[in-house]
Structure 1
């Protein structure tokens, strides 16, 4: 499976839309795209995961690295559109407590 990455920049806001699967095969492409963007001073990045059906630990590693990079430059990272499965992945790893994540449907039942 491939991953589709779209980046739109508005002033100091980066909107990233992802589609596909984030795994050991696609994570390097995601890393190559997001890391240079994360190194900007005070960048605010919003990543839309609405069309991501699967993510493994490699994908989590990319987001942890991007999160650390952005925070070290006084920026902010927000992940939106997470499926229940992806939210559970972030919860299990404890990342949901330190990262700003929102589900596809905020009123969604467990």
Structure 2
């Protein structure tokens, strides 16, 4: 089960998925991010501190969201991934593309 909260930031929005980011929940994350991009947010900060598990579909959703944000002239930045999520990002080398930050403040400073 995944719950997603979305909060406005001065420079964009914070999206915080809580739970497991898998095949069944990835479309919901993708849709929430796309709706924020369509609403005009150019910086999407994804707080993964409450994401306990991510599979290939979840990774695909994050990459898709990054692509959409960049096509709209913005960016997507990951924040505080859990150890399991960090391990998957490292194993797939996606940590080089998605470049997780330690905090929301660090993501906003880039």
Are the aligned partners of 2:42 and 2:69 in contact in 1 as well (CA < 8 Å)?
Answer: yes
> Could you say which structure has the higher strand fraction?
1
Are the aligned partners of 2:11 and 2:43 in contact in 1 as well (CA < 8 Å)?
Answer: yes
Separation in structure 2 between the aligned mates of residue 56 and residue 19 of structure 1, nearest angstrom = 14
Larger radius of gyration: 1
Distance of aligned partners of 1:39 and 1:94 in 2 relative to their CA distance in 1, 3 Å threshold: farther
Are the aligned partners of 1:77 and 1:100 in contact in 2 as well (CA < 8 Å)?
Answer: no
Q: CA RMSD in A?
A: 1.9
| Structure 2 portions without partners, runs of 5+ | 104-110
| Structure 1 portions without partners, runs of 5+ | 105-110
TM-score, reference length from structure 2: 0.82
Separation in structure 2 between the aligned mates of residue 11 and residue 103 of structure 1, nearest angstrom = 19
CA drift at 1:16: 0.9
> Could you say which structure has the higher helix fraction?
2
SS at the partner of 1:98? Answer: helix
Between the two proteins, the alignment pairs up a number of residues equal to 103
Moved segments of 4+, more than 6 Å:
none
TM-score, reference length from structure 1: 0.82
